Structure 1
Amino acid sequence: MVHQLMVSRRVLLCGAAGTAATLAAFPIPGRAQTALSVHADPSLKAAMQPLMNTLGAEAGTSLLLSFGDVSSATAIDGVLAHDVVIVAGAGNMARLVAQGLVERPTDLVTNGLALVVAPDRPGPDTVTRAMDLTRWVNGSHPLAVIDPERNALGEISLQALRAIGWGEGVSKRVRLAPGPGTVLDWVAHGDAALGVALANAARRDQRVRWVGEFPPDTHPPIRYQVAVRASTPVDAPARAFVHALYGETAREAFRADGLTPQVPR
């Protein structure tokens, strides 16, 4: 059974449960600086990867981009392994702040939540209030939800489900996932009939069937925050990179991927 706990936002994991994967380094001609290491939530891959040459040029250095959850942003000894981190869920970033690993973060973009269904399973056609989710889930084909005790996005997902009528009958048919990427994997592989995932990632994932996005008033927006490593020099390329993320080129890429750019504050 899933207990409807109000979980602290200061939890560690974020996004997909797997380890980080380094994608590419983009050298800037005529520059000899050490590459700037940027670690971002996996759901930002489609928007950010094509931008790296542009953002690297604006930062004036080579970029090394990796994607993974918050736990993979730190080394075994707890030291932050990257110059810049971008995290989905303010509660997930709060853990890094509390540990003194990063400076005060700023909001970058917001995302929504969506309901998806396994391609070979019956499911609803849209997300509506008072929908009876027990029609489509059971013990063998559960509802996949992010574990609120492991990831701050889980409590937001539960809040959205409660707002559309999720109740005790459904809570007995839930499988808890360590992150939103795992939700999509389970639904795609038939290990779950339905799943609650990040909206932009769910819309792109052709392995699952999109049901619909949860109405905005059913949960707070999923806030993505960006932060530089603690004690970063004032004139460091990391700060120039973060500044570039708020430029119009990056904002257009985020909008194209279904994300809503924010004003830094």
Structure 2
Amino acid sequence: MQRRTLLAALLAAPAAAPALPRRARAQAAPLTVFAAASLQDALRAQAAAWEEAGRPAPRMSFAASSTLARQIEQGAPADLFASADEQWMDYLAKRDLILPGSRRATLSNSLVLIAPPDQAQPLEPREGAELLARLGAGGRLAVGDPAHVPAGIYARQALTSLGLWQELEPRLARADNVRAALLLVERGEAPLGIVYGTDARVAKVSVVGTFPPESHPPISYPFALTRLAKGRPEAAALLDFLTGPGAAPRWRQFGFTLPG
């Protein structure tokens, strides 16, 4: 009797749905974008426009480009990488972690000297003595860590070009990313900082000087698909969206410049 009851129950139960192939499961997952910290405000606006067009919201992770590149190297599941310099995109390309043919030089930026909002007196970045005077006896210059953070690398190159690196290197407050350096100045914990022009636009700081473009290599933001995005047409569509003409006005709204 018990056997007949069990057999009837099994026959009545609905058939289990077949397991999705691994690729189908991957395609069902939201897209994941790893992007430089300096892109976060503009990229959130771009993602909102992407959603308004009827696309699923991507997941986004923001940090220093160096941190994100190393996470991708260690297997972090990113579909698209937006770096704040060519160096860290090269780092992944040399390890065959970028989808060939997907890399695009998308945006550019400026490098500026900032101070707390109540210290708005202009300062010529070329004038080392004036810069040191503004730092004072114990003040530090907030920058992304020049050992690996793109904004800090650009800052080191600019200061070296202007003959100021040797004097200022011991006075640096090295931050994990450019937004952390920005916050040190915004809070008044550092009297001066070097960040991108776009960062200064979204914080309560004063831009007191701009570094000459010739003092550092051009600031370049390459975007590319990672190897994990292979076979995901929606990832390619997102890259096209972010680098296409429709996205350009939003990038410019946040202060970025576009090549060409």
Q: What TM-score do you get using the length of structure 2 for normalisation?
A: 0.76
Task: For residue 261 of structure 1, give the secondary structure of its aligned residue in structure 2.
Answer: coil
Task: For residue 172 of structure 1, give the secondary structure of its aligned residue in structure 2.
Answer: helix
Q: Which of these residues, 189, 209, 212, is aligned with residue 212 of structure 1?
A: 209
Cα 1:73/1:156, change in 2 over 3 Å:
closer
Q: Which of these residues, 48, 56, 65, is aligned with residue 60 of structure 2?
A: 65
- Alignment check: 8 A CA contact 2:64 2:150 kept: no
The letter for the 2-side match of 1:63 is: P
- Alignment check: 8 A CA contact 1:74 1:81 kept: no
- Alignment check: 8 A CA contact 1:113 1:196 kept: yes
The letter for the 1-side match of 2:235 is: A
The alignment status of 1:81 with 2:58, answered yes or no, reads no
Counterpart of 1:249 in structure 2 is: 246
Q: Which runs of 5+ in 1 are unaligned?
A: 1-31
The alignment status of 1:185 with 2:183, answered yes or no, reads yes
Q: Deviation at 1:146?
A: 2.6
- Alignment check: 8 A CA contact 1:106 1:226 kept: yes
Mapping 1:8-19, distance limit 5 Å: none
Counterpart of 2:144 in structure 1 is: 146
Counterpart of 2:3 in structure 1 is: none
Counterpart of 1:51 in structure 2 is: 46
Counterpart of 2:233 in structure 1 is: 236
- Alignment check: 8 A CA contact 1:103 1:229 kept: yes
Counterpart of 1:202 in structure 2 is: 200
- Alignment check: 8 A CA contact 1:33 1:61 kept: no
Q: Deviation at 1:234?
A: 5.5
- Alignment check: 8 A CA contact 1:34 1:62 kept: no
The letter for the 2-side match of 1:109 is: L
Q: Deviation at 1:192?
A: 1.7
Q: Which structure has the greater CA radius of gyration? A: 2
- Alignment check: 8 A CA contact 2:149 2:178 kept: no
Q: Deviation at 1:250?
A: 0.8
After superposition, the CA RMSD in angstroms is 2.8
Q: Deviation at 1:197?
A: 0.6
Percent sequence identity over matched residues?
27
Cα 1:187/1:235, change in 2 over 3 Å:
closer
The letter for the 2-side match of 1:241 is: L
Q: In terms of mean alpha carbon deviation, does 84-93 or 182-191 score higher? A: 182-191
Task: For residue 235 of structure 2, give the secondary structure of its aligned residue in structure 1.
Answer: helix
Q: Deviation at 1:66?
A: 3.1
- Alignment check: 8 A CA contact 2:63 2:177 kept: no
Counterpart of 1:38 in structure 2 is: 33
Counterpart of 1:94 in structure 2 is: 90
- Alignment check: 8 A CA contact 1:117 1:195 kept: yes
The alignment status of 1:223 with 2:220, answered yes or no, reads yes
Q: Deviations over 1:29-88 (max 9, x none)?
A: xxx943211222222222222222433576955422332334246659810321111111
The letter for the 2-side match of 1:193 is: P
Runs of 4+ in 1 over 4 A off after TM superposition: 56-62, 72-77
| Distance in 1 separating the partners of 2:154 and 2:160 | 10
| Distance in 1 separating the partners of 2:169 and 2:80 | 38
Counterpart of 2:8 in structure 1 is: none
Q: What TM-score do you get using the length of structure 1 for normalisation?
A: 0.75
The letter for the 2-side match of 1:189 is: R
| Distance in 1 separating the partners of 2:178 and 2:79 | 24
Number of aligned residue pairs: give it. Answer: 230
The letter for the 2-side match of 1:66 is: S
